[in-house]
Each structure stands twice: as C-alpha cells, then as structure tokens.
Homo-oligomer: A and B are copies of this chain.
Amino acid sequence: MKLCDIGNTNFSFNDAEKFSTEHFDISSINERVYYIAVNHYWEKRLENEENWINLRDFVDFSKYYESMGIDRIMCMEAVNNALVVDVGSAITVDLIRNGHHQGGYIYPGFSAMEKTYKDISPRLEVSLNFDIDLATMPKNTEDAISFGVIAPMVSYIRSLADKLPIIITGGDAEKLHNFLPCARIDEMLVFKGMKKTIDKGVELRS
C-alpha cells in the first residue's frame, strides 16, 4: 500500500522515497496513493486525481483541535498511550492517554532557534551543541545557548511523560534522542497512523 506525507518541501513515501514538492510529477504514479498534505497547493492540486486519496476525509476531527496539522494528527492516531515528540521545522509535543489527545504544545525547531539567536545579536550566532552536558551549568556562550534551548525542553518532556513511553519522530529525532535515551525513535509513526486510519475504513466526511 502506497502512503505519502506531503509537507511544504517534500513528498515522503512509506518506502522511504522522497521527492521535492517543486519538481514532483504526479503522472509518474498510476497506482492508488493514500496521502496527507499540510501543503495547501498540493492538496488542492490532487483533489481531482482519482488514484490520490486524501486521508483528511477519514479523520474524526472532533478528537482534535481545529487548526492542528494533519501530520501531527496522524502521529496521534498511531498510538494509544504516549508522549509523542515530532522534531522537525517545529517541535510538537503531544500527550495521548487511552487513545485520547490530552493537548500539546509547539516549540520552534532547532534550526529556527539557531537563527533566532543570531538575529538577536551576532555575538549569539552559534551552532547548537548536541553533546552538551545538561548536569553542568554552562560557562561559555555556545554552551549557554545550547543549554538554554535543550535543558528546559528535555526536563519538561521528562516530567510530562512521567511513566508514559516517549516516542520521538521527525527529521531531527536523533538530536533530541541524545538527551532522552529512554525514548523510542519511530520514523514511521506518521505512516503507522495513516495505515490505522485506512484500516478503520470509515469515510467520516464523505
């Protein structure tokens, strides 16, 4: 079964293939594709393609809030009890208990944060150090910045998860995993949610 997660920059397929949204040729695929899209242009563009099935129409949105991204919703659909951390251009942290979304929050992604410091002052332009020791208070600017981004985030994720498993997904999952070795990385989480949504098989908004 072909699944596709369409973001702002890439078409990502469940066989690990990726294509830029700028150069993607839909005529290259004739089989049925189940997809989600946060990219409004492509969602509109695929509306009349018979073999492209938008999974947005299969989601029970009453379980989520209105403006929540469909990719984030699919990750939620994949789990029953977990704290899910999606580390991409933004970092989303969502709590799911007994299959119910308890809420979540949004933090800027790591590259966005690097840019933020640089924009405040050229003296704060550094690359985040993902080998920093969170047990020692920093005594230089580079570490002070990396610590500022990572320490409060990691500490809060730990306290929020309590005894729930932590699942990390998204392109920068590995970077955060350094600080949360007890967490599980699952790069296929969004596809697992899509698969589960298809298996439920009820078109709720037909």
Please report A residues at the B interface, Cβ cutoff 8 Å: 8, 65-68, 89-93, 95, 102-109, 112-113, 115-117, 119-121, 123-124, 136-141, 144-145, 147-149, 151-153, 155-156, 159
Contact = CB atoms under 8 A, between A and B. Distances in A.
Grouping DSSP codes into helix (H, G, I), strand (E, B) and loop, the A interface class, with mixed when no group exceeds half, is mixed
Contact of A116 (B8, B108, B123, B156): B108
A103 B66 contact: no
B137 A105 contact: yes
Given A89-B120, A90-B121, A120-B90, A145 B95 contact: no
Nearest to A119: B112
Closest 7 CB pairs of A and B: A103-B137, A152-B156, A105-B148, A152-B152, A105-B147, A107-B148, A116-B116
Contacts of A103: 136-139, 144
B159 A123 contact: no
Given A89-B121, A105-B138, 16 more contacts: A65-B140, A90-B120, A90-B121, A91-B148, A93-B148, A104-B137, A105-B137, A105-B148, A105-B151, A106-B124, A106-B141, A106-B148, A108-B113, A108-B117, A109-B120, A116-B116
